Chain A
Amino acid sequence: MHYEAPIRQPLIEGDKSYHDITVDVVRPVESSAPKSWWLVFSLALLAFLWGVGCILYTIGVGIGTWGLNKTVGWAWDITNFVWWVGIGHAGTLISAVLLLFRQKWRMSINRSAEAMTIFSVIQAALFPGIHMGRIWLAYFVLPIPNQFGSLWVNFNSPLLWDVFAISTYFSVSVVFWYVGLIPDFAMIRDRAVKPIQKHIYKILSFGWGGKAKHWQRFEEVSLVLAGLATPLVLSVHTIVSMDFATSVIPGWHTTIFPPYFVAGAIFSGFAMVQTLLIIVRKMFKMEEYITIQHIEMMNIVIMLTGSIVGIAYITELFIAWYSGVEYEQYAFLNRATGPYWWAYWSMMTCNVFSPQFMWFKKLRTSLMFTFFISIIVNIGMWFERFVIIVTSLHRDYLPSSWSMFSPTFVDIGIFIGTIGFFFVLFLLYARTFPVIAQAELKTILKSSGDNYKKLQEKQEHVEH
């Protein structure tokens, strides 16, 4: 019943019992924060506050404070939007797709990966909001008559599809995450000794008691949510790519965009999961749950999706030439050799070249190297969106309209602010939430725990 082939490496190291898992998961919540936490948190908070200032300045004065001009009407804001949404995708991929594929290694990382999803989608959603200029009219995107007159939203527009896709994605991710959290909150509630803490976790745990019927429904709900979230996550970046692909701008108007965007999203998302988990496992001593094997598996995903992205880049170039459309050909020639050549080649180096190092087992099991590559990949994926957006726009149809984009301090400040906000949320989460789905993890202890695997091996030797 609890059998797993001995050739598979244990997913939980050390001599763990069910109680040990409880204690290890709850430790960051019950103990005070390490110094390193305060240091990173203060930095993140500072960046966040700077970003808030820049956002308020933008809202007060208008988006003229950004570096946009008549030719380049979309730049850093949309780049950041797509970048953050893309990062979010890995969380759903880990918790939903790997659940459907019955990949047990997801269990120690899915909670944090999904937290990352939610926090990065929050950052993403900020950008279209402030780019509207008049944020108090943001309700125009809702399917209600605009200005409460008789004009409705336009369901033919990919921008509106995006509103529906992002809000569905965000809210379903939150619900999926929360349903999984309920039993773990109940565990913290039942251990808490301080009255205020006990009260807070009592509210959060919804009174969960772990009844047999409830667990039966819980598993069914998780499975159905995973089944719904899987096509959902693919649809979200598909629709984001349609914001570009359904337009008639050379460099945007391509049918390869949906799969190419989805692969890129998973690629950058896994890189961000690596960045965060390498910090979390060190800061909260989770090395026995988030093992080198977990890191290696994610590196393999990065290698695979990075290669898919590489193929997409080359296909794009080939099709631009093969199409025979001069505008399209020029758009791609300009990307690689025009004034933004440095952005294009940064993208190529970071996204296509750097993940290929993961073919070497020594490198993909090295923490330092993984951390380094994860940052490189995220820089590369930011440049990918910048290249797609800005280089396609800056050379307009008429040479008299050609221009360049350079960000102002407000553009930069808002971007840094979202990175700060993201880390503020993630660090608060890491101190107050169970960072590992402990209830789920306990179900695989007997099949994938180090001690149980050794025990099983011993028994097998006796039997034969």
Chain B
Amino acid sequence: MSSTNQTIINALYDDDDVLLSGVKEVRGKGLEIQEVYSPFPIHGLDKAMGLKETRIAIAAFLYGVLGLTTAISMTYGMMIVDWPMNIGGKPSFSWGENMPAFVPIMFELTVFFAAHLMVWTFFFRNKIYPGAKAQNPDPRTTDDKFLMEVVAGGDHSNEDIMALLKETGAIEVSVNSAEHA
């Protein structure tokens, strides 16, 4: 993805199942797939492309722990240490005694932190933000087309790769030597 003067061969498909079998075939030939753009999530595509599992759920868990910790320190600091109040005879001598009344806050802040920080991570890792330039090179890939980008090179000539892609059912195949991030 960082390489600058790579030749990329684009193959456009019009069916998700054809694309998926195409991905498997291309990788079976030892070629590297740089990217696949699709209008919707295709089940099994990440495995077929050899993508690692996402760790975003683990991040969400850690954010949740952070939220819970925040809630505990906030209730402790404000209600027990800084200004203990006797409200309705509820004990405020120690956090443990007062804890049941704090459960709703602890729960809400856990969810709040986990959800928001996870989504921020999602935006950050995908490099998507308001006004960003469209990442898909072909606008048809948000409608009903699927684009596979194959890295040219190795012992295959460009013509060979293009023939292979055509064989897998691509409707359009083109060479793209221009760099793009």
A: residues with CB less than 8 A from B are 1-2, 17-19, 22, 143, 150-158, 160-161, 164-165, 168, 171-172, 175-176, 179, 182-183, 186-187, 189-191, 202-221, 223-225, 228-229, 231-232, 235, 239, 242, 439-440, 442-443, 446
> Known: A161-B105, A217-B122, A442-B39. Is A210-B136 also a contact (CB below 8 A)?
yes
Q: B144 to A156, Cβ gap below 8 A?
A: no
**Beta-carbon nearest neighbor of A225 in chain B:** B115
Q: A205 to B115, Cβ gap below 8 A?
A: no
Chain A min CB distance to B14 (Å): 8
Residues 103-123 of chain B: 1 if any A CB is under 8 Å from the residue's CB, otherwise 0?
A: 011011101101110110011
Q: How many A-B residue pairs have CB under 8 A?
A: 212
Residues of B within 8 A of A203 (CB): 130-131
Q: B134 to A190, Cβ gap below 8 A?
A: yes
Interfacial residues of chain B within 81-134, with CB under 8 A of chain A in the complex: 82-83, 85, 87-88, 90, 98, 101-102, 104-105, 107-109, 111-112, 114-116, 118-119, 122-123, 125-134
Q: B87 to A191, Cβ gap below 8 A?
A: no
> Can you name 25 A-B pairs with beta carbons within 8 Å?
A19-B143, A22-B143, A22-B144, A153-B78, A155-B79, A156-B98, A165-B104, A172-B116, A175-B116, A179-B119, A186-B134, A206-B123, A206-B130, A208-B134, A209-B141, A213-B46, A213-B54, A214-B128, A216-B53, A220-B54, A220-B56, A224-B57, A235-B104, A439-B40, A443-B41
**Beta-carbon nearest neighbor of B143 in chain A:** A22
Asked if B51 is at the interface of the complex by the 8 Å CB criterion, the answer is yes
Residues of A within 8 A of B102 (CB): 155
> Known: A19-B143, A209-B141, A211-B135. Is A164-B105 also a contact (CB below 8 A)?
yes
Q: B38 to A182, Cβ gap below 8 A?
A: no
A165 to B82, CA, bound (A): 24
Which of B79, B109, B122 sits near A156, CB closer than 8 Å? B79
Residues of B within 8 A of A2 (CB): 17
Q: A232 to B126, Cβ gap below 8 A?
A: no
**Beta-carbon nearest neighbor of A162 in chain B:** B104
Asked if B177 is at the interface of the complex by the 8 Å CB criterion, the answer is no
Residues 9-42 of chain B: 1 if any A CB is under 8 Å from the residue's CB, otherwise 0?
A: 0000000110000000000000000011111111
Which of A151, A160, A190, A228 sits near B115, CB closer than 8 Å? A228
> Known: A217-B122, A228-B111, A232-B111. Is A210-B141 also a contact (CB below 8 A)?
yes
Q: A209 to B40, Cβ gap below 8 A?
A: no
Residues of A within 8 A of B139 (CB): 190-191
Q: B111 to A231, Cβ gap below 8 A?
A: yes
A231 to B144, CA, bound (A): 36
**Beta-carbon nearest neighbor of A153 in chain B:** B78
Q: B79 to A204, Cβ gap below 8 A?
A: no
Chain B min CB distance to A272 (Å): 24
Residues of A within 8 A of B133 (CB): 207
Chain B min CB distance to A460 (Å): 18
Residues of B within 8 A of A18 (CB): 39, 143-144
B: residues with CB less than 8 A from A are 16-17, 35-46, 49, 51, 53-54, 56-57, 60, 74-75, 78-79, 82-83, 85, 87-88, 90, 98, 101-102, 104-105, 107-109, 111-112, 114-116, 118-119, 122-123, 125-136, 139-144
A217 to B60, CA, bound (A): 12
The secondary-structure label for the interface of chain A is: helix
Q: B85 to A225, Cβ gap below 8 A?
A: no
Q: A224 to B37, Cβ gap below 8 A?
A: no
> Known: A22-B143, A210-B37, A210-B136. Is A168-B112 also a contact (CB below 8 A)?
yes
Residues of A within 8 A of B122 (CB): 179, 217-218, 221
**Beta-carbon nearest neighbor of B109 in chain A:** A164
A157 to B104, CA, bound (A): 10
Q: B128 to A213, Cβ gap below 8 A?
A: no
Q: A210 to B142, Cβ gap below 8 A?
A: yes
Chain A min CB distance to B22 (Å): 13
A204 to B88, CA, bound (A): 49
Residues of A within 8 A of B88 (CB): 156
Residues of A within 8 A of B141 (CB): 190, 209-210
> Known: A152-B79, A155-B75. Is A216-B128 also a contact (CB below 8 A)?
no
Q: A210 to B108, Cβ gap below 8 A?
A: no
Knowing that A207-B134, A207-B135 are A-B contacts, what are 19 other residue pairs whose CB atoms are under 8 Å apart, sorted by A's residue number? A22-B144, A152-B79, A156-B87, A168-B112, A172-B116, A175-B115, A190-B134, A202-B134, A203-B131, A210-B38, A211-B37, A214-B126, A214-B128, A215-B41, A217-B126, A221-B56, A228-B114, A239-B104, A439-B41
Which of A19, A143, A165, A216 sits near B51, CB closer than 8 Å? A216
The 5 closest A-B pairs by CB, nearest first: A209-B135, A207-B132, A209-B136, A18-B144, A190-B139
Residues of A within 8 A of B128 (CB): 182, 206-208, 214
Q: A225 to B118, Cβ gap below 8 A?
A: yes
Chain B min CB distance to A50 (Å): 34
A180 to B4, CA, bound (A): 33
A187 to B40, CA, bound (A): 10
Q: B142 to A152, Cβ gap below 8 A?
A: no
Which of A1, A175, A207, A442 sits near B40, CB closer than 8 Å? A442
Which of B46, B57, B116 sits near A212, CB closer than 8 Å? B46
Q: A171 to B17, Cβ gap below 8 A?
A: no
Residues of B within 8 A of A442 (CB): 39-40, 144
